[in-house]
Structure 1
């Protein structure tokens, strides 16, 4: 049977495509800002929102969006204003979100931690029509924000102080980035799960950085890697009957490994080209630099 025949697979593949495009669009800025772990923290907080959805008999996805957005704003404020105790406050928020989710789900009528499995580890084959609609709406919001303001976000990711001097509203954009990261986590939780969603935001970007250095090319390649991971992981799980979230993440990591190995010859070639260029401009520069390096090594050994 073709994987395209079942309706649940059609919905799953559409959700996987949307998440694959959206996750790197946010993740690339988190990687640039060295905040790759932020998605993990938001996932912990979003778990409380999922549990509240069960407790209040409302949509777990939309409740998770509200709680995750609030948590992400608090995280950004702690990052901006927190001093030596900022990391401790963030840790409390992360662990409190996880513990609160487990506690609340057990208080919900007929609730149990088993109900959280599809949100913790992903259950893309259980995506409903309403889930696809929610993912589509939220993905459109994220992509419009990330791509429409890409120059401003790139600026604050490189140097916040310089961005302030140029008149960019850094604080507002930082909060917007936190909100879009929260939305991305809650949207992707149905695909890869809250415990692994950060990988889909970070690993494709890291893989793309092995092959290119330009921002636009890195973003495009990261999206391609993420879409390839989500679609192939979903199809693989259909035929082999394994968890789709784990399949997607492992494929993304495999792509990173392949990109890293493939980039090694290119890096060596670039070094040789730079040496040749420097030698052509100043024939004695490379020789003198090499002699100085050899002398320094000899002094250290002595």
Structure 2
């Protein structure tokens, strides 16, 4: 099958466009999260998404309404993680772990009440971007604009709090608000990414392009641009390979990301010793 034939399918066009939008969001936010050691927040919010999806399946909502219903739950959970870390004197990783455990437990209970795990739930667990609809693509495009606008609007504040939060706070920056902005943008991205790689693999899409870019990029902006390029390239490659070889799309994207990371790591080692 040649490239023109593959691109002639409407579902492939939607998958490539939607996957690219989501890859950019995950990669850009991933750089901030990795440098702030908050990369596992994606995994925690993914588990909350699992519980939310199970709830919407219990009420048999259509896919497009399911995405809209999940968003406020995940946004509230993201703020809950921050509040637990700030008010309950719980370290960030412990707060993520608590919310993650509650989310996955809720999902299992609701799935049991609904009669067990079905095909729809498995598609959200492990991703099925080839089935993305035009309405879901429109939602993805809308949320893409919102998240990118948020990053651009708060870029300087995010940059300052990422590299030295205490200095940023002493300079008068409201770091609590910036932290809230970051986790809310991440929550929106997690909801979008569940259709690409699935709930179980979302953290990989947030982490791998970012850590790969940090191996080779010189400078913060270069790392963000490199991460976005790596994210888009690996998603397009993963979708294409999975379609041709009939492999699970989400898992294929993650494996290709890992291979690219290994290559970048090896290149960094060669440059260091040259």
> Could you tell me how far 1:112 is from its partner in structure 2?
3.4
Q: Which residue of 2 aligns with 1:221?
A: 226
CA distance in 1, matches of 2:172, 2:95: 30
Change (3 A) 1:232 1:87: closer
Q: Is 1:48–1:67's contact at 8 Å kept on the other side of the alignment?
A: no
1:63 aligns with 2:69: yes
User: For residues 5-60 of structure 1, what are the alpha-carbon distances to aligned partners after superposition, in whole Å with 9 as ceiling and x for unaligned?
Assistant: 11111111111110111111111110010111110000001111111222234322
Q: Is 2:40–2:203's contact at 8 Å kept on the other side of the alignment?
A: yes
> Could you tell me how far 1:86 is from its partner in structure 2?
6.5
Q: Is 2:52–2:70's contact at 8 Å kept on the other side of the alignment?
A: yes
TM-score normalised by structure 2 residue count:
0.92
What runs of 5+ residues in structure 1 fail to find an aligned partner? 270-302
User: For residues 172-194 of structure 1, what are the alpha-carbon distances to aligned partners after superposition, in whole Å with 9 as ceiling and x for unaligned?
Assistant: 11111111111111101100011
2:198 to 183, 189, 193: 193
1:78 aligns with 2:84: yes
Q: Which residue of 2 aligns with 1:49?
A: 52
Q: Which residue of 2 aligns with 1:14?
A: 17
Q: Superposition pairs for residues 86-105 of structure 1, below 5 Å?
A: 88-105=94-111
2:207 to 202, 207, 214: 202
**RCO greater where, 1 or 2, for CA within 8 Å and sep 6 or more?**
2
> Could you tell me how far 1:80 is from its partner in structure 2?
2.1
Q: Is 1:102–1:113's contact at 8 Å kept on the other side of the alignment?
A: no
What runs of 5+ residues in structure 2 fail to find an aligned partner? none
CA distance in 1, matches of 2:94, 2:213: 32
TM-score normalised by structure 1 residue count:
0.84
Q: Is 1:52–1:60's contact at 8 Å kept on the other side of the alignment?
A: no
Q: How many positions carry a matched residue from both structures?
A: 268
RMSD of aligned alpha carbons: 1.7
